[in-house]
Amino acid sequence: MRSIFYVLLFFVGASAVAQSELLAKNYFDQGEFEKAVTIYEKLYKKSPHRTDFLQSLVEANQQLEKYSEVEKLLEEKLSSRAFDPRLYIDYGYNFALQGKDTLATQNYDLAIEAIKIRPNYAYSIGRSFEDYSLLDYAVTSYETAMKVKPDMDFNLYLARIYGEQGKLEEMFRKYLDLIDKNPSGKKIAQHNFSLYITEDPSNEANGILRKILLRNLQENPNVTYNELLSWLFIQQKDYKKAFTQEKAIYKRTEEDLRGVTNLAVITIAEKDYENATAIVNFLIENSATPEAKLQGHQLLMKIALETTPKKEYSKIEAKFEELLDTYGRDSKTYLLQIDYNHFLAFEMNKKETAIAHLKALSEERLTAYQEARVKMELADILVNDEKFNQALIYYSQIQKKVQSDVLAQEARFKVAQTSYFKGDFEWAQIQLDVLRKSASQLIANDAMQLSLMIRDNSLEDSTQTALKKYARADLLSFQNKNNEAITALDDIITNHKGEKIEDEALLKQGELFEKTEQYTKAEANYVKLIEFYNDDILADDAHFRLAKLYENHLQQPEKAKELYEQIIFSFSDSIYFVEARKKYRALRGDVIN
């Protein structure tokens, strides 16, 4: 019983200390420093080993300008046997607050001297200097430790401080020193470089990093410098120069084409098809296996699909057939076959042919994942052909086939989307409610957006007339029938003016106007949306799309800048916030991100 009593007593005491500490912090935060000092004095007296109590007591007294009280506290602690050399920094800073800079410097120097005796003090002393924004002394702390004990490495801390000080060349050099010692630090370096590097090659940081890397490459032809130069040129969207570096990397590694492949994918995504074609052709020429060459040809077909006029689509069809004749029509080419049959169904309107091809492919010896991918494309084509029930069967099979894969979640979303297309909003809503908790954030976001749209437009209209029209327009868009979709949305905008669905219709139609290169009509839709629905959930979408329209197609950068600024200040929780801030700063001409 006595032991239980002592345990209870301990917990009661600990609880009382925690409450007192919380109360003292609350007083401090509210500026009631006298009350905070009273409590911290009691806490420190009971627990003199608690350095956090001492620190809080020092700070509270300094706020009251009771510098002599702080001196007494710190001198007492400095005279004890187990003193911490960080106290010299606290002691020196107390002098600095009084304008006694000489005494402050003397104590800062004593902290540095402690590192010379015991280099392991460097981290805590350096961090303490940083806490007081004494960055030059923090640098000295870390550099002193590395001189005394060369196996210690504080380059990461030094690089970060140099960045805060605006010493870009020193910062880049320290990060490169870090990479030289530990190549795995490259990702950390690139992450921190991205805080200073912009798309503008004339940006100061870009120029400094480029010169350092080129100089280092001349002095020490390390492939890491080629990789970082390639990364830099990619940030600048100068894919031709990045390609030059990737070719140099390949020549030196002889067999590694991963960098070239990644660059090809990036360049295609950025729609720089001229450079992408050159990169992919290099990939094909230097690939050692048929599988790698096939991957290159798949990328070339993606470029062809984006660059070939519709009147010449028969050439693409012939090229697909040629590739399949060369590489076969089995599991090895299943991705190429998926691309081909998507093209046949959605671009050539040969749905029956595509469906027959994919059904035959699904009978091949495929892995569970490959079979699921094939059936996903097959189901999508059936939706395109408005054979909804058949499509739903395939989507359900995919969920069972790859239960633990994100593909299963995508299939569930497509069940919901297909049910929505066919007007079964209740079943769609049930599926979407499950997906809102999906492990995939992208799918969860899409599910939430569709769910909210169905719910919002079902409340005020029990017949769901406008929602059915909108779902039909959405299906037409999915089927690539853009002009028909635009007409269907016109009906909603004209006959359901002022209803919940109108903002959705304006945004969707604006996107389709962009897709069909009717940019002034898209502008009118977004302007109307902002004018009449600026407090609704789609307002940030309208601002962002209109800003990009002004920036990329209507050549009105000032208007684009104004809209990006509105997103920054009025839609801080928007998914477009980060991109809008980046675009705004670029248009404003900022040197550093």
Give pLDDT, residue 17.
Answer: 67
The predicted model scores a pTM of 0.76
Decide if 255 contacts 217 (C-beta within 8 A).
no
* pLDDT of res. 183: 85
pLDDT in tens, 423-467: 999 999 999 988 877 667 778 888 888 998 898 888 766 778 999
Rg over alpha carbons for the chain, rounded to the nearest Å, is 32
Mean pLDDT, residues 108-134 taken together: 94
For residue 84, name the pLDDT band (cuts at 50, 70, 90): confident
- In the predicted model, is pLDDT for residue 3 greater than 60? no
The answer to whether residue 7 scores a pLDDT higher than 70 is no
Helix (H) or strand (E) holding 19: helix 2-29
Token pair for 103: 């005494």
Tokens matching residue 542: 């309208």
Which token pair is 449?
Answer: 């957006």
What secondary structure letter does DSSP report for 185? Answer: G
pLDDT at 280 over 80: yes
Average pLDDT over residues 528-532: 94
Mean pLDDT of 400-409: 89
Whether the per-residue pLDDT at 593 is higher than 60: the answer is no
All residues at 6 or more sequence positions from 570 whose CB lies less than 8 Å from its CB, including other chains:
none
The residue-averaged pLDDT of 357-377 equals 94
Write the pLDDT tens digit of every residue in 184-199. Answer: 888 889 999 988 998 8
Q: Write down the residue that tokens 């031709």 correspond to.
A: 240
Domain boundaries, given as residue ranges, for the chain: 1-48
State the Cα–Cα distance between residues 190 and 205, nearest whole angstrom.
13
- Residue 270 CB contacts under 8 Å (≥ 6 apart), including other chains: 237, 239
Whether the per-residue pLDDT at 72 is higher than 70: the answer is yes
**Cα–Cα distance, 139 to 143 (Å, whole number):** 6
Name the more confident of 12 and 289: 289
Long-range Cβ contact pairs of 49-55 (< 8 A, separation 24 or more): 51/84, 53/21, 55/90
Q: Report how far residue 502's alpha carbon sits from residue 470's, in angstroms, rounded to the nearest whole number.
A: 10
At which residue do the structure tokens 């996107």 appear?
Answer: 511
What pLDDT score was predicted for residue 442?
A: 78
Cα(441)–Cα(512) distance, integer angstroms: 25
Residues 6+ apart with CB under 8 A from 499: 457, 460, 461, 466
Once rounded to an integer, what is the mean pLDDT over residues 513-527? 96
**In this predicted structure, what is the pLDDT of residue 387?**
95
pLDDT above 90: residue 181:
no
Helix (H) or strand (E) holding 96: helix 86-97
Q: What value does the mean pLDDT take over residues 103-124?
A: 94
Tell me what pLDDT residue 16 has: 62
Give pLDDT, residue 157. Answer: 92
d(CA 533, CA 269): 33
pLDDT one-digit tens code per residue, 200-244 = 898 899 999 999 999 999 998 889 999 999 999 999 999 999 999
pLDDT at 15: 58
Kindly report the average pLDDT of the chain as a whole number.
Answer: 89
Does the pLDDT value for residue 8 go beyond 50? Answer: no
Residues 6 or more apart whose Cβ sits within 8 Å of residue 324: 333, 336, 337, 340
